Structure formats: structure tokens, C-alpha cells
A = this chain, B = another copy of it.
């Protein structure tokens, strides 16, 4: 059963009424982030019920040593764990002698609002404690986009039926562990605890990786909105520090604690300066003040929404969902720090270690490319360029040579940090998406210079890998790629996964095409790269032989490419024939049964059809969609979006809409029964794609910006903006109309349903 307790609203995520069953789900859904740090929506006050505590800092991880029953050569040394960071949000609240704990009192009027437009989290409720005391609580929390080392909390308690003492105990706790820890390990070592007047700091250090983090807090108080000074008592423990503040509060008076907190870390400062930097950042926040900082927050989000927003009329659920996706993507990554990337759970959970998957190249780059300045997308590409040497080392560990590069399946710093052989050794299609992203970027932005400056070296490394990884089958007189895992991870170690073979061939072809172009048009870059990579004509020729003679499994009868050799031997029962009780299969079936089944976790052949849509005619696309989608269980968050886009392409708008709801409300409605573990951040870019590329039909193959706008029955209209080659284009689509607005001072050429249209500068076109 999916959940459906989130109240529909166009700009807010709302939970009404307290239900302990929903706490861990809401902790994920209401998460906050500012690109540099983030946290689950844990309560500030004590909560003794089921909760999953999590605060995370961008770039901070722990290398959990790989431990297997039987070590095999080439296994990655470690699994990079996203680390739960010291808790700075905690405020214990004691009413008289009784501690506030929603698990042990009568809660009414509970309401939680994630204000996506303005970027803050609000919570209010009334509670009757076991003592009979009734209070009202109002909390606002946000992580500042302006000072990304600071978060702020305003926590107000109002006694409703008594006069009495109220105690706030704000604290920092560095004695935290990971929920998803296989090994019961502690990751943090405490280096220093420093106390000051209404402020405290803990300097801690991650084991093994040696990151230093200063976690700070700074408090202020008000009574009925008038600032008051309070004396504190300090409790310093081995791994935590807490301050106790008491005040006698009269019935209906509002007692407020302002708590500023956050992190400074050693990726940004020498470790000796961390405590001081922490103190400075909090001081700055306190001087600006809670209200002004929140005002700045609203302005910062207004700027983000200006190009990122998608407006949907006539479908409140759809509207809420798309904004939720866009909001969370921006909370996770905003392109300001080129060392960071888009973790699949962002700052909302621990599952999946590492920060960077092929999701970035395959799904996220188009989103950031269209909604932000092109430098943001370029940063994401350069991130991989900077890891090229590591990718070459990674391939060498597996026995490849001469500069062949295999990008890691999961990474923090360029090293492979996932540790299952069937993924790290075999899910090599990821290497292709590195090149596809370059193609995509160059095509969309027109910034060809990226290839001679950076991209070509990556392309050569990857082409070398494909060349070495394929082998000639003398039986077929074709090159085959054996022993791979495709995007559909419900298959392992298959031969000739069509998608992998296709993108391998394409990578080589595209590399050679660009080598030729560089030779002619960028001679000095070409010479530099040749010297650096030691590339010879002979080598290129042997790549070409592999690309030209690549084998593709094909079924003549059905006229479809086969997902892999032998796919048709499976028990080919479509998903609709499976009893509901057996789904999701990844929770109900053994791995053995899943592997043998025909069920597809996420687009595999269809991923290729989507990437290379311009290589196939509509009939071919339709045949493949109609064959594979019925076997697809969409148990990867990355699945529905691609299917939504393709369904729109073949004019199955209702199917596309079904898939749109599934991708956009995946977490809000918890389709896969796992939202409590965190949100599916990278697939949220796919949701954006399913509107822009799906309904909007936007494509940018061959330097042409094309649209083919359609609209689901239910919607009255929708509109979105894209940044394109220095300008901004807005599309507004209704059932009977479609308007394009050019918000730039240059005309923009677009193709609508094949028809070329030039939209004049600051002008519009009605098509």
C-alpha cells in the first residue's frame, strides 16, 4: 500500500495530525538541505518513538572496509559510507518536571509544513503532558543558502493551562552512529569540546578519512518576542555538550529559544581554524538575526524558482510533486562546490554509500543544464575529468592497460567505493554515460570547446576500455561483450547486453568523429592530447574494427533488440500477471528468483532507445516500448521517468501521465515502500525530464532544440522555462494552445513538431 497522508498543496508539503507510524517517512520527506549540508526532519525535542536520526555534510564519508566470504582479485577496498554527522538541532524541552516527548503525550493540532517556495520547515502542535500541563509549540527551521555553514531554529513554547517553569536544554551530540551500519563501528573521534557564553563547539574527526568538522551552536531567547538574557548550566560529557536554561513562564506567554548551529569542515579550512570559523559563522548569523536570515532565504529561493519552476494547472497532486522534486534537487546540489556531486539520497538518508553514480550524467546534468548557468553542468563534467587518472587506475586493477579508463560505479573521490563484483566489475555501461553527458552538454550549450579542453581525454580513455573489453567471437565473427550487468540490475553477468554494446559502439564512433574534428579544427589541442595519451592511428583503427563489428542480439520475429543473449528463454509472464502480494519483487522474492525472471528493474533496452532516440524510427521505438515495458517492475526510482518520456513520444499520453505520477510522487506517496530510508534524489531530475522532455517533447540532438508539446487530459495547462545558450525560453502549453516566450535579447531557433520557428528576442510565438 502506498501512503497518502501528505496534504495536496501547490507550494507546500503538509502533514496534518500526528501519527507515529509516519514519523520516519516524514523525517525523509521534510528533509532540509543547502547544498553543503542537510538533515532529516528529526524533531528538535526528545522523541522516544521510532525515528531515524540523520545529519549529513557534503563530501564527508567513511571508507568501510570491504569484507566478503571469499576475496577475489580486483575487489574494491572499501564501501564509502555516507556519515551521520554530529547532531546540532537537539533541544530538550522540560515543562515543570516533565520532558516533552511526542511519543508520551496527547498531541493535537499537529501540523508540519515544508515551505518549498521560501525554503523553510515549520511545525506546530499542542501537547498535553502526563502532568496535565498543556502547551503549544511552534518551530521554524531552515538551513541558510546565504551562509551555508549555518542553520537556524526558532522554537517557541506557550503554556496553555498553567504558569510554570520551562526548561530548554539545547545541545550538540557527536556521539552518533549510522543507522545502516553493518559493522557497529564508531566513525567519529572527539578532538575538542569548547564552551562559551551561550555557545559551544565540538571539534571531531572522522576515523580513517581524517575529515575534521566543527559543529557549533549559539543560543538566544525571547519572551513574547522580546529578547531576554538567561543564565545557563553546562553539562559537558565525553562526546556531547548541553546547556540548561530555565524560565518561569506565565500562561499564554510565549517562550522562545533561537538556536543557530551548523558545521565548518576541513575541506574548506585548515583544521586549526575550524573552531574559530564555526564561531564566526554563527556570530554572523546571530548578528543578522533569525528573521532577516529567513528573509534572505526567501529571496534566494525566489531566484532559484525563477527558472526552475514548473507550473501545472488543473492537477494539484502533480503540481505539488514536481515542485517537491525541483526543491529537493536544489537542496542537494546547487553547483557552488565543484568537489561535490549529487548523492542518490542527497542529505536525506544513508543508504547507497558514496556521492556520485551514473545518475549524474544520465539524469541530472540535463536538469542543471537547463535550470542553471551552464557552468554548473560544466562543473559536473569537469568533476569526472578530474577523476580520469583514478578511472585509469581502476581499470588497471581489473587488468586493463594503456590508459583504458573505467569510471567507478560509485565514488566520493574518483576511487571505486561500491563493493559487489556483479556491479563494480560488470555494470560497465556507466562508462558510456560519461561520454553521453559530454555529447549532451556540447549539443545543448553549443560550448564545443569542452571537448578539446577536457572531454577528449576522457573519451579516449573510455574508448580504450571498450576496445579492450570486447572480444572477437570467432563463432559469430562479431565483437561481443561478455559478463556484464546492464542498467537493469535484476540481471547479473549476462552476455551482450544490448544497451552496453550499443553505447560502447557509440562511444568509439563519437570519439573517432571528434578526433577527426580536432585534427582539423583544434590542431594544437589535438597535438597536446596525442602526446599526452600516446594515441596512434593504428590504435584508432583497431577501435573502429570493434565498433564496426559489434554484435547486437536481435529477434527477427518480434523485430526487437534483445536485452541480452538468451532473454527469450525466460518464463515470459508479463508483470500484470503477477499477484500483487508478490510485489515489489525485491522485497518478496529471493535474489535467485529475480535473476531468472524476465522482470526489469529499470529501463535497459529502453534506456538506449531514449538516449539514442534519433537513431530509431517511431515504429521501432513503439515496438520496443510495447515489448519491454510490460516486463518492467519499476523498482528503481530511475525507471518511471524514462518510460514516461518514451510513452509521451509514442503518443501514449495516459501511460506517460501514470508514469509521471509515479516518478514525481514516488517519495510523497511511497510507491516502493522505502521512503523512510530517505528520498530518491537523482531520480527527481528524471521527473523534471518527464515534463520537459516527456510532455514538452524537448530534444536537443544535432544542435537543434526541438519540442513536440503534448498535455495530459487532466491538466489545464503547464509551463516551464529553460536556460538555453545564454537566453531563457518559456513554454506555456494548454490543450488548445502552445506559446513560447523568448526572454533573451537574441532570437532563438526551435523546431516544433519538425517545423522550424524563430522566436524573436523578447518575443513570443504561438504554435
Contact = CB atoms under 8 A, between A and B. Distances in A.
B495 A493 contact: no
A596 B79 contact: no
A592 B569 CA distance: 25
A626 interface: no
B569 A483 contact: no
A569 B495 CA distance: 9
A482 B69 contact: no
A374 interface: no
B592 A425 contact: yes
B565 A566 contact: yes
Interface stretch (A70-78, A297-305, A312-320, A599-607): A70-78
Main secondary structure of the interface of A (DSSP, over half): loop
Nearest to A478: B569
Contacts of A591: 72-75, 421, 425
A523 interface: no
Interface in A563-582: 565-566, 568-572
A595 interface: yes
Contacts of A419: 69
A472 B570 CA distance: 8
A74 B595 CA distance: 12
B592 A74 contact: yes
A69 B79 contact: yes
Given A67-B182, A595-B483, A399 B568 contact: no
A474 B572 CA distance: 9
A588 B73 CA distance: 8
A613 B426 CA distance: 37
Contact of A70 (B420, B471, B483): B420
A72 B422 CA distance: 13
Residue among A68, A495, A595, A596 with most chain B CB within 10 A: A596
A397 interface: yes
Interface in A492-526: 492-496
Interface string A283-308: 00000000000000000000000000
Nearest to A482: B596
B399 A589 contact: yes
A485 to B, nearest CB: 10
B399 A593 contact: yes
Contacts of A492: 492-493
A561 to B, nearest CB: 15
A426 B592 contact: yes
A565 B476 CA distance: 14
A568 B475 CA distance: 6
Nearest to A66: B69
Interface string A414-451: 00001111100110000000000000000000000000
A559 to B, nearest CB: 15
A398 interface: yes
A398 B593 contact: yes
Interface string A461-489: 00000000001111110001011000000
B590 A399 contact: yes
A587 interface: yes
Contacts of A67: 67, 182-183
A73 B587 contact: yes
A473 B569 contact: yes
Contacts of A73: 586-591
Interface string A339-382: 00000000000000100000000000000000000000000000
Q: List the 8 shortest-distance A-B pairs measured between CB atoms, nearest first.
A: A74-B590, A72-B591, A425-B592, A473-B569, A475-B568, A398-B590, A493-B493, A471-B571
Interface of A: 66-70, 72-75, 79, 182-183, 353, 397-399, 418-422, 425-426, 471-476, 480, 482-483, 492-496, 565-566, 568-572, 586-593, 595-596
